[in-house]
Structure 1
Amino acid sequence: MTALAPIPFLDLKAQQGRIGPALRARLDAVLAHGQYILGPEVAELEGRLAAFCGAAHCVSVSSGTDALQIALMAEGIGRGDAVFLPAFTYTATAEVPLLLGATPVFVDVDPRTFQMDPACLQARIADVKRAGILTPRAVIGVDLFGQPADWPAIRAIATAETLFTLDDCAQSFGAALNGERLGRAADATATSFFPSKPLGAYGDGGALFTESAERASLYRSLRTHGEGTTRYEVLRTGMNGRLDTMQAAVLLAKLDVFADEMARRDAIAGIYDQELAGLVDTPARVPDSTSAWAVYSILLPNQEIRDSVQAALRTQQIASAVYYPRALHQQPAYAGCHDGQAMPVAESLGARILALPIHPDLTDAQALRVAATIRAALAA
């Protein structure tokens, strides 16, 4: 009996096979000039990224987490400040406010799109103002799993409350809302180039986008120890948050094929939609948007069924993942800063959600096999 070929959750080796010559040429160029920190590829990448999403300014940094931190540092956010963010996302979004001395205030999410619920955001702002302990300062909206948050609603609330808006676009670079790619939806946008992201480096990396020349200048200073016009003029407390030239070279090679890879991810999502319709809750689309499809997550009726489907996939050598098994306000690290408010949607998702393989080198046959395995597991 022939063993089933494994279906990986992500296949960077296959991608490297496709872009190998261009990738090696880029890396060889860095080795030739030897400018490993802030080399010419960094400036080239920043220009191409800004042009891709239509932003006025792009500042590359060493990780998506550092991008979030630099953006909040630039606004002077710290002790006594409240930063509103979704309860269902990766920990980096919440840990950065705490690192700066601010307090993350968790907001529940929409049960179908998993994006921040604007009505809950409004209620949580009212909670903080009523308590009178913290000062509302910022909203971090997360474009979860590749789809955009409800930025028109978030911006309207933030404007009315005079709050800084930060788009955590770590999973969704390349996505669009109302015909415009993400990068301009908030006062600042932070993204990640972690290897598993739709546009991923071969190590950590990130970027900030803004329409403000003043903010962009401040971000460049903060990413390099608070430098002024010269290396040894220190104007402020900063950090070491620069993107390595080698990672910029990798990203430039990948950016050449990024649009095609985005289209392929969307095609795979379409296969899953069609094959799993009526069997599970497939991802609801944010209206008037396109997704980057960093993650394709289905919802099962309960944890027992979710776990049995995941076990069936594992038996068939098919990788899957749970993003996220626990809401942020339920994590031990954040227990001390949470006010105890229930987040029923975020609390329920961890028991039902399951992410399926989705990457540009997944074949139609593999996607159909994933769907058939789920269908069989549900029928058993």
Structure 2
Amino acid sequence: MKFLDLAKQQKTIEKHLRFNLDKVLSESKFIMGPEVKKLESSLAEYTKASYCISCSSGTDALTLSLLALDIGIGDIVFCPSFTFPATAESILMVGATPVFVDVGKNTYNICYKNLLNAIEKCKKEKLRIKAIMPVDLYGLPANYNKINAIAKSFNLHVIADGAQSFGGIFRKNKVGNLTEITTTSFFPAKPLGCYGDGGAIFTRSLDIKEKLESLRAHGKGKGKYDINYMGMNARLDTIQAAVLLSKLEIFDWEIKERNRIAKIYSNELKSSFHIPEIPKDSVSAWAQYTIQSSKRDKVMSFLKDKNIPVMIYYPKPMHQQPAYKGFLLNKDLSKSSELSNNVFSIPIHPYLTDLEVEYIIENLKKANNLFL
């Protein structure tokens, strides 16, 4: 059993994948080849976003978005503490300052009350607040109605970190079309992943789209050597676009399978573990199925002895990381600390067999009974 089985996925798309890769090799347009534009068009159509701009990674997608909004030195950006380092890292990379916000224990997403408190604290200290960067943790879109309303009332930008949630839905709208700017990652372990690093940005604004296209290519203007902005080398490789186009063919089926397995997990485990909460108006992309236990280490050890792979996302929140010890304007982050001690993730990829799912559930129940 594998935590994520990319080999089985590759066999499913092998014919289409080889055709796409052979085409790239034959045409030798390895940078900004036609597959890149085709992918951007396909992703925009899939999400119903106005524009999609591909780039070299999910981290670069966040950094480029901040640059496109002219966010930099002296600016405050709010983001969750319970997240992957790339979220806060991108804020620091442009010279801005992250202010960490706590998350909800049931959805793992940003806590709106804590966000409002952090905003008021910053305003009281007359700091220059500029943006909110919510994270759709484990694949569940945050409540963008609430986030967009808060942003509007304080004149803030919203950059959604949808690295784990591409394919998710909030109130009938897909991730990529829920707010001002959405980023995603195509890291191999993500719901839609390539065979290396990759990312994309979705926006409704033509001005932002054109600026992002410039920024990802060294800030160039109409001419190759006309430099309008201080940019980056952050283009998506053509060969990765070809991989993603192949995977996009089966993506809806994979999301349905992830949700089918998640429903089985939730029904079977709800009396034994603290399971993730999915609001009625949302569909998760289920990048991870993450549960909570105060006996996490013992449960994980038991599962590993049964050859069931498990992972911890994330063992330490950002506000406890040494690199971020100087960014503690908001210290009310108790849920982030608690979750980092209790969460663990079990396999949920679309290629799990029903027998494997039953085996995972059976041993989780055994572990729970053993360590009560």
Pairwise TM-score range, normalised by the shorter structure: over 0.9
What is the match of residue 80 of structure 1?
A: 74
State the distance in 2 between where 1:341 and 1:287 align.
31
The correspondence of residues 1-380 of structure 1 with structure 2, limited to 5 A, is 7-132=1-126, 134-300=127-293, 302=294, 305-339=295-329, 341-380=331-370
State the distance in 2 between where 1:195 and 1:323 align.
16
State the distance in 1 between where 2:132 and 2:280 align.
21
State the distance in 2 between where 1:154 and 1:38 align.
34
State the distance in 2 between where 1:260 and 1:341 align.
42
1:117-145 Cα shifts (integer Å, max 9, x gaps): 1111111001111122x300000011110
1:93-150 Cα shifts (integer Å, max 9, x gaps): 0011111111000011111001101111111001111122x30000001111010111
State the distance in 2 between where 1:164 and 1:115 align.
18
State the distance in 2 between where 1:349 and 1:237 align.
39
Distance 1:41-1:143 versus aligned 2 partners, 3 A rule: same
Look up the SS of the partner of 2:226 in the other structure: coil
Look up the SS of the partner of 1:69 in the other structure: helix
Look up the SS of the partner of 1:260 in the other structure: helix
Contact 1:271 / 1:368 at 8 angstroms: preserved in 2?
no
Contact 1:147 / 1:286 at 8 angstroms: preserved in 2?
no
Look up the SS of the partner of 1:19 in the other structure: helix
Question: In the TM superposition, what is the alpha-carbon distance from 1:342 to its structure 2 partner?
Answer: 2.7
Contact 1:140 / 1:167 at 8 angstroms: preserved in 2?
yes
State the distance in 2 between where 1:290 and 1:65 align.
24
State the distance in 2 between where 1:377 and 1:146 align.
26
Contact 1:275 / 1:368 at 8 angstroms: preserved in 2?
no
Amino acid at match of 2:218: H
| TM-score (ref. length: structure 1) | 0.96
1:203-244 Cα shifts (integer Å, max 9, x gaps): 000000001111000000000000101211111110000000
State the distance in 1 between where 2:250 and 2:329 align.
45
Amino acid at match of 2:214: S
Look up the SS of the partner of 1:191 in the other structure: strand
| TM-score (ref. length: structure 2) | 0.98
Count residues in correspondence.
Answer: 370
Aligned-residue RMSD, C-alpha:
0.8
State the distance in 2 between where 1:281 and 1:339 align.
30
State the distance in 2 between where 1:332 and 1:184 align.
35
Contact 1:118 / 1:150 at 8 angstroms: preserved in 2?
no
Question: In the TM superposition, what is the alpha-carbon distance from 1:378 to its structure 2 partner?
Answer: 1.5
Q: Which sections of structure 2, spanning at least 5 residues, go unmatched?
A: none
State the distance in 2 between where 1:339 and 1:286 align.
31
After TM superposition, what 4+ stretches of structure 1 lie above 4 angstroms from structure 2? none
Amino acid at match of 2:240: Q
Q: Which sections of structure 1, spanning at least 5 residues, go unmatched?
A: 1-6
Look up the SS of the partner of 1:104 in the other structure: strand
Question: In the TM superposition, what is the alpha-carbon distance from 1:341 to its structure 2 partner?
Answer: 1.1
Contact 1:174 / 1:292 at 8 angstroms: preserved in 2?
yes
Distance 1:167-1:56 versus aligned 2 partners, 3 A rule: same
Identity between Structure 1 and Structure 2 (%): 44
Look up the SS of the partner of 2:78 in the other structure: strand
Look up the SS of the partner of 2:53 in the other structure: strand
Contact 2:99 / 2:330 at 8 angstroms: preserved in 1?
no
Look up the SS of the partner of 2:362 in the other structure: helix
Question: In the TM superposition, what is the alpha-carbon distance from 1:340 to its structure 2 partner?
Answer: 5.7
State the distance in 2 between where 1:342 and 1:181 align.
31
1:8-49 Cα shifts (integer Å, max 9, x gaps): 110101111111111111000000100000000000000000
Question: In the TM superposition, what is the alpha-carbon distance from 1:337 to its structure 2 partner?
Answer: 1.9
Look up the SS of the partner of 1:297 in the other structure: strand
